Every structure is written in structure tokens, then in C-alpha cells.
A = this chain, B = another copy of it.
């Protein structure tokens, strides 16, 4: 079965992203990646990733810079951005050159941020190599780095011009990363596309077996949701907040484990579990719908259990960017495919919901 190439547009007229999804994109990257000058600055995950080698070969003779960076969360720093900037400026980068980031979310976040500040902004392209970055991280323009005070605290909105999501780029992706990234893809379905969620209920075992058709259906569906939402609200003043479904407690679970215990997608999965519980109580989400979402999450797992002790979670919830004196904003489901922001959910409700997910 050959999968057709899908095209999704995100953004506005002045900051548009062309997302291409399908097989064969790695080897034909030169014909789709954007660069006015025809010259590229390649920034990739270090290590022998097949996707990196194929993009490098596709761009042979056009590389002004070919730089590998450490793609662990610990390297998502201003220092790594500076390393990319040094390489680019030493090589004589011009405003009509473009950067290409090949890797997971860390690589696209850091390299996209470097593109945002080089010469006050040069264009960039993303070639994601994880399910999470294909469905989520590479689209929408949020770039940035961590700070000792927290994650993603320094950055810029700077959307890539082109995203190439080729399933072959997932070859060699460890099972755990593959599954964790799918949580973000399903999240998109749950907040905005009930049809996609329904299809995945049928096809999840094929998706997990990495069958190209159903996998691309999920990744393209998630990318379409994300593209639609960020096009409407690029700076997260309104509807884009829905993408934070599962992220309020998710971030607290991630942080309380020192970012080592749980992958980001795994923490979000637990955050969604708790948000389902809050949704049934607050928005009238039916127990049946909540159960279907929870069931899909279980089939993606099992995931390591999060820390749910109130004393450990509370500091992280209280310093949430969305916290006010009245409570902490959260995204709740009204039904599968329909979500809303609840502005001030009391801290205690969050802690109670977290405690309940640890029950058998």
C-alpha cells in the first residue's frame, strides 16, 4: 500500500508553515526544504540516526554548516543555542540562508530558537524524527530553551517554513519514545477531532506495530488539529491553550520526578487521566467517554507511575504559569473532540485528582 503525501498549511500569510507528511520525504528533502539562497545550516541529533544521514546526503553540496548537538533535555540551554550561532556566524551565514533541524523536540526547539535570533531571524525547516515532534513539537512556532528556574523559559515564536514528517525517520526510535510521543498525537484528537479518536480505537494495535497507513493517519490528523489551532491563535492568548490538555498535572509529574523518571508524553498521559476525572465532575463528561479515553491511554502504556504525594506536587502546581490566587487554569473535556479551559480550579481539586489516579 502506498500512502499519498499529505500537505497541511499552518500559520498566517506572514508566518506560514508547509507541513508535508508521508513516505519518501527524507531522500527528496532538497526539493521541499526552504532556502532562498539554496544554502542550508544542518543541525542534527548527535549519533548514527538514519534520518540524519539521508537528509545530509540529500543536501550534499549545499551545506554551509553541518553541526551535531546533544539532544538530551540537559542540553536544551542558551549555551547550545550559542554553539549553533557560533557555527553559523563563523561560516558566514546570510539572511537568505536557512537552517534545517533533524531530530526530536529538543533539536527543533533549540535549533529553531537559534534561527529566531541569528541576524534577527533566518528561516528554518524541521525534519522531526520522533512521534511527538511530528504530531506536536515541530508545528506551531514555539522555540526555546530551559533555564535552571524551569522549562522553556527563554525562547521565541518562530515557526518553521517547512516540516517534513517521513515515517522512515522513526526507524530506530525506541519503543518507549515511540509510544510516549503518541500521547501528544491522541491528545490532539481528544480536544478537537472525535473522528480521529474513534478511528484510532480501531487501529491502535496497527499503529503500535508501526503500520504506515494507520500511523500516518494518526500523525497527519494530529498535525492538522495543531495546525488549525495555532493558525487561529499563534501566541496562545485563547484557543491554543486547549493544547495544554493534560499538561497542568503533567508538568508537575515531570518536574517532581526531576525530568528523569517520566518522558514528557508519559507525564501528559497521567495528566490526562487526572483531567478526565476532573472533567466528569466539572463539565459533565460522560463516564463512558472518559472510559474510552482512559482505555486508549492504557493500551499505549503501561507507563511508570508518577509521584502523586500532595506535598511533592504542590510546589510545582503553585508556580504554574497559569496559577492565580483563585486556582490554576486547566483544560477539561466536555466530550471526546471537545475541550474547554476552566480558569481557576482550586489547588486541592488538582491534588485530589492526582491522588485518585494512583488507585488501582
Question: When the two chains form their complex, are residues A144 and B157 in contact, meaning their CB atoms are under 8 A apart?
Answer: no
Residues 152 to 181 of chain A near chain B (Cβ within 8 Å): 152-157
Complex-state Cα separation, A85 to B77, whole angstroms: 13
Taken residue by residue from 124 to 156, chain A's Cβ proximity to chain B (1 for < 8 Å, 0 otherwise) reads as 000000000000000000101001011011111
Q: List the B side residues contacting A155 at CB < 8 Å.
A: 117, 119-120
Q: List the B side residues contacting A89 at CB < 8 Å.
A: 147, 149-150, 153
A326 in contact (CB, < 8 A): no
18 A-B Cβ contacts within 8 A? A78-B78, A78-B82, A78-B85, A86-B147, A89-B147, A89-B149, A92-B319, A116-B156, A117-B117, A117-B144, A117-B155, A117-B156, A118-B153, A119-B155, A120-B144, A121-B156, A121-B157, A156-B156
Question: When the two chains form their complex, are residues B147 and A85 in contact, meaning their CB atoms are under 8 A apart?
Answer: yes
A321 in contact (CB, < 8 A): yes
A292 in contact (CB, < 8 A): no
Q: What total of chain A residues lie within 8 Å of the partner, measured CB to CB? A: 29
Known A116-B156, A118-B154, A120-B152; further 17 A-B contacts with Cβ < 8 A: A78-B78, A78-B82, A85-B153, A89-B149, A89-B150, A89-B153, A92-B319, A117-B117, A117-B154, A117-B155, A118-B153, A119-B154, A120-B142, A120-B144, A120-B155, A120-B157, A121-B157
Complex-state Cα separation, A29 to B152, whole angstroms: 32
Specify which of A119, A121, A154, A319 lies most central, judged by the most chain B CB atoms within 10 Å of its CB.
Answer: A154
Find the B residue at minimum CB distance from A120. Answer: B155
Taken residue by residue from 80 to 94, chain A's Cβ proximity to chain B (1 for < 8 Å, 0 otherwise) reads as 001001100110101
A199 in contact (CB, < 8 A): no
Question: When the two chains form their complex, are residues A156 and B120 in contact, meaning their CB atoms are under 8 A apart?
Answer: yes
Question: When the two chains form their complex, are residues A94 and B321 in contact, meaning their CB atoms are under 8 A apart?
Answer: yes
Question: When the two chains form their complex, are residues A85 and B120 in contact, meaning their CB atoms are under 8 A apart?
Answer: no
